[in-house]
Amino acid sequence: MINLEWFLNALTLGSLCALLALGLVIVYGILKLVNFAYGELIMIAGYTIYILSTAGALPWLVMAVIAVLVAMVTSYLTELVAFRPVRTKSLTAMLITSFAVSTLLQNGALLIISPRARAVPLPPIFSQSVTILGADVPWRNILTIVTSLVLLALLNLLLKRTVLGIALRAAADNFNMTRMLGVPANLVISSAFAISGFLAGVVSLFWIGRTASVTPTIGAAPLLIAFVATVIGGMNSLTGAVVGGYVYGFLFSLIGVLLPQSMLDYREAFLFLIVIIVLLFRPEGLVRSKTTGERVG
């Protein structure tokens, strides 16, 4: 059933995916690191809200801001402690490190908090909806779409108009040349991780808004989505990530409509099949970039 409601749902999912994919690609573009620990940042933000809500009665917005900040700091710390020392080693070493960091954070949550789901408070607006042109649209979806668009616009400004943004884009294009021109490598990489954490934190608010609970393994699903979206869009381009995110949102919703009921369980398998096909026949993704795919050594 393709109607306005379907379209808005797809757009909501697409917006979330675009932010997710962007967070993954901003690190990948510079380090060529597929960060498996990315999903855990979403979990961390969720648990931050949970812990804050048990500690005292803060307004939701304050808790949300703190949660995003904690995700940013965690992302930066993983870079500082785990990724920086292995950066100069092989790509495989870096990938395994990110897998280990992911396991560490997940099991850390198991150990410190609980394997069971924890309730996370939501603002009342998340459960209200509004009627637009006969379609029943939850406010959460509208907020997701608007927030994503605003953030994408702001990030665009940051990347195009500020020195840091230009350094980031230059580093993604040719990291060694950028370093030779005097841009400090650590600063660029740390900023990339912080932005990545920021995006994961924001996504977390809306992702958790769907279920109002957080578990240690909540990061797995968004991580897989980010993988699919970045590969479809193009791993070497920030624009590609955003395009890939929206394409994923519509593709996922389309498969939901087109696939017969009996095959719907295999939806994830189909999406990952698309990933493999894209990597085989158009490894540069939908949006081509000039980048060579050279790695930081």
Partner 1 sequence: MNTASKFTNWLVQNSTPFILAVPLLAVALLTGAINNLLITRIITVLFINLILVISLQMFMGNSGILSFVHVGFMGIGAYVSVLFSMTPEAKTATLPDLYPFLQPIHLPFLASLFIGAFVAMVLAAILTYPLMRLSDAAAVITLFALLVIINTVLVHYSILTNGPRTLFGVDNYTNLTNSTVFGLIAIFLAFLFKESPIGLKLRASRDDRYAAASIGVNIVQVRWVSFTLSAFVAGFAGGLWAHFITSFSPYAFYLTETFNILTMLVIGGTGGVSGAVIGTVVVTLVREALRGVENSINIAQVLPFTLVGFTEVFLSIALILILIYRPSGIMGGREVRWRQKVKSFEEPQEAEKAAGSSV
Closer residue to partner 1 in complex, CB, 197/285: 285
Tell me: does residue 74 bind partner 1 (CB under 8 A): no
The one among 127, 187, 283, 297 contacting partner 1 by CB under 8 A: 283
Tell me: does residue 297 bind partner 1 (CB under 8 A): no
Among residue numbers 106 through 165, which ones bind partner 1 (CB under 8 A)? 106-111, 114-115
Q: Is the dihedral of CA 271, 272, 273, 274 positive or negative?
A: positive
| Contact range with partner 1 by CB under 8 A, out of 100-108, 117-125, 184-192, 242-250 | 100-108
Tell me: does residue 256 bind partner 1 (CB under 8 A): no
Tell me: does residue 227 bind partner 1 (CB under 8 A): yes
Could you tell me the smallest distance in angstroms from the CB atom of residue 271 to partner 1?
Answer: 9
Q: At what angle do helices 60-78 and 185-211 cross, to 10 degrees?
A: 140
- Count of other CB atoms within 10 angstroms of residue 75: 29
Tell me: does residue 269 bind partner 1 (CB under 8 A): yes
Tell me: does residue 221 bind partner 1 (CB under 8 A): no
Tell me: does residue 268 bind partner 1 (CB under 8 A): yes
How crowded is the C-beta side of 152, counted as CA atoms within 13 Å?
Answer: 23
Closer residue to partner 1 in complex, CB, 87/140: 87
Tell me: does residue 194 bind partner 1 (CB under 8 A): no
Tell me: does residue 231 bind partner 1 (CB under 8 A): yes
Please count the residues of this chain forming the interface with partner 1, following the rule CB under 8 A.
46
| Contact range with partner 1 by CB under 8 A, out of 42-50, 165-173, 224-232, 248-256 | 224-232
Tell me: does residue 97 bind partner 1 (CB under 8 A): yes
Tell me: does residue 101 bind partner 1 (CB under 8 A): yes
The contact set with partner 1 (CB under 8 A) reads 28, 32, 34, 82, 85-86, 89-93, 95-97, 99-101, 103-104, 106-111, 114-115, 216, 220, 224, 227, 231, 235, 265-266, 268-269, 272-273, 275-276, 279-280, 283, 293, 295
